[in-house]
Amino acid sequence: METRNIIVIGASAGGFEAIKQLVAALPADLNAAIFIVWHMSPDVMGILPQVINRQKRIWATNALDNEPIINNHIYVAPPDKHLLVDNGSIRVTRGPKENRFRPAVDPLFRSAAYSYGPRVIGIVLSGALDDGTAGLWTIKSRGGIAIVQEPADAEVPSMPESALAAVAVDYRVPIAEMAPLLVRLTAETVTTVTSARDVAMEEQKKTATEMRIAAQDPALEQGVFALGELTPYACPECHGVLSAITDGEIIRYRCHTGHAYSADTLLTTITANVEDTLWSAIRGVEESMMLLNNLGDHYAEKNQPKLAAMFFQKAKEAEGRAEMVRQAVFNHEHLTTTSIRKQAEEEGGA
């Protein structure tokens, strides 16, 4: 009988300490392979395995492309690389970013669910926004176990909260209780078989397509447009058209070059870009104001007072427009689905 021996972990802000605490509590002989994606800057050295190995528990390494998977080992996604699992081996790739990250949590979770079905245990730890939610849904839909860190226990609770809101999570526990839970779950045999035959063919095809995109296959050639319905939104990274993809009640987006976004990440990125655009507008208007004033001075020196006065008037009008845009910047709100949900809860309770 097969056991749940594939553990995939996703974390972002606040996740470093959570990962250290979890691994330190695991038995050194745990009969499972563990895969970790922790959001990091692409120019940061992959130090997480070194930190884990100081605890002298389960040996950890930065994952290597095409290396075989062995139990009782921790594989960490290297900086600026996606980590995927594919039926006994590992893929480390520079596929398109998902949720503005590489490595991203969703590609790892998705690939594990596709390759190992009910043998997978997916864990979402501390982090901002909602990377990992869609991937955890895929794990759950293939018969795997979904675990999230108790939000009150997380340094940054957004990722666990998002997963809880969208996925029928099996366990929500603080880090201190997670290691004993994993010991128990990995010792259990898989009794509910959820194979590729039990999953809707369209869902399997969708997951396979997205795995190939993460593995660097051209998204357009893989039929990315067939994954969902075209939208009027542009990809914030390449400005390609985005398609809306649904996972149960979750909606997310992918462009024809392969970049992928959760609804929360897309909303956050668009609202952040609005501020950047407004500051660019202020710069342009103020440049025109300065040029108009300089030209006004020039014509005043040339003894053309009427023409100079007109340039000064236009400069004054530009100054007024710049101030209007500046106020729009100050009043602009950076939005996330979490912030909107909390505002709705506060208003509902008022």
Q: Which residues make beta-bridge pairs with 120?
A: 6
- Which position among 39, 82, 243, 247 bears the catalytic label? 39
Spell out the long-range contacts of 339-345 with Cβ–Cβ below 8 A and sequence spacing 24 or more. 341/165
Is 12 tagged catalytic?
A: yes
Is 131 tagged catalytic?
A: yes
d(CA 321, CA 186): 64
Tell me phi and psi for residue 249, to 5 degrees.
Answer: -95, 5
- Which position among 106, 130, 131, 247 bears the catalytic label? 131
d(CA 175, CA 76): 19
Report the candidate in 169, 260, 249 with the shortest Cα–Cα distance to residue 222: 260
Tokens for 259? 């970049």
Is 339 tagged catalytic?
A: no
- Which position among 12, 126, 158, 162 bears the catalytic label? 12
d(CA 192, CA 264): 33
Whole-number Cα distances in Å, 100 to 41, 114, 115: 11, 23, 25
d(CA 178, CA 173): 6
Tell me phi and psi for residue 267, to 5 degrees.
Answer: -60, -45
Annotated catalytic residues are 12, 39, 131
